[in-house]
Amino acid sequence: MKRIGVFTSGGDAPGMNAAIRAVVRQAAVLGLEVVGIRRGYAGMIQGEFLPLGPRDVANILQRGGTVLLTARSQAFMTEEGRKKAYENLQQAGIEGLVAIGGDGTFRGAMRLIEEFRLPVVGVPGTIDNDLYGTDYTIGFDTAVNTALEAIDRIRDTAASHERVFLIEVMGRNSGFIALDVGIAGGAEVIALPEAPVDPRAVAEVLLESQRRGKTSSIVVVAEGAYPGGAEGLLRAIRSHAEVEARVTVLGHIQRGGSPTAKDRILASRLGAAAVEALVGGTSGVMVGEVEGEVELTPLKDAVERKKDIQRALLDLARVLSI
């Protein structure tokens, strides 16, 4: 193998640039050329390729987002689109790929492997932390800290106005962000897709908090935890109790910003490990970190096996909310 490609796809995540940098520099040490593919699978179909050397990735470690850009691609969902992408890769002399992204990115990579036997290694880049085979995904730690800073500010306002605030964080199908942010932010209630809440029970928790002398409360809601998100949950709560409350949706603010030290280190380690795996003849796997060690997990397992939240943390949250 003499030349590999690297691309980012799906939602951006802080630390993706650190992973790109590590791929390029590890490849250089091993004598490989690297081609950057802009705009993910869409750019693969359009032939948006550019050579990347060690100097080309200087001063990107601290930047959020992805310098290679990212995009959704309906064309790649078709056989014709995938064939065009593969032909472009062949023409560019790319013999293997490092795919940085989440569930959708890896499903696309699996298609390239199955249909064209192109070697691909995945790097988990998603703030949701929902991929099986790694304790943490790149971008998760930054997203949690970004959301936590916002919640700390909102708590000041909640206390000043003696109100309840429902704060919606990202997590359509997973509650990892909500759980960590809820504990670190001192939330009275945490609503997760993995642990559905009963609006009547939430109303009672808030009323009981008031009876114990609390003048304000924070409820952290993962966007997929209740139909209609935080707004839907508040409407349901108010059908059981009169609660002075406001909703704040943090939205895409959680994806941006300079990555934390933890995300930079994780991204650097996994980016380098992905290149080593490719050079070693490994394909169809995701590099992850499990209990401090780099582990390889089949892409199929990474996207199809369920990664559960730490249930003990949810129990702890209930204890700490009294």
Is 154 annotated in a binding site? The answer is no
Answer whether 47's CB lies under 8 Å from 84's CB.
no
Residue 152 annotated among the catalytic residues of the structure: no
Is 10 annotated in a binding site? The answer is no
Structural domains of the chain, with CATH: 3-139+259-304 (3.40.50.450), 141-256 (3.40.50.460)
pLDDT digits (tens, 9 = 90+) for 242-274: 999 999 999 999 999 999 999 999 999 999 999
Answer whether 262's CB lies under 8 Å from 225's CB.
no
- Angle, in degrees to the nearest 10, between helices 140-161 and 176-184: 50
Distance CA(264)–CA(186), nearest Å, equals: 27
Q: Check 128, 141, 180, 263 and give the catalytic one.
A: 128
pLDDT digits (tens, 9 = 90+) for 162-174: 999 999 999 999 9
Strand order in the sheet with 189-191: 189-191, 217-222, 164-169, 245-249
- Report the predicted TM-score, pTM, of the whole model to 2 decimal places: 0.96
Mean pLDDT for 106-132 is: 98
Is 16 annotated in a binding site? The answer is no
pLDDT digits (tens, 9 = 90+) for 35-49: 999 999 999 999 999
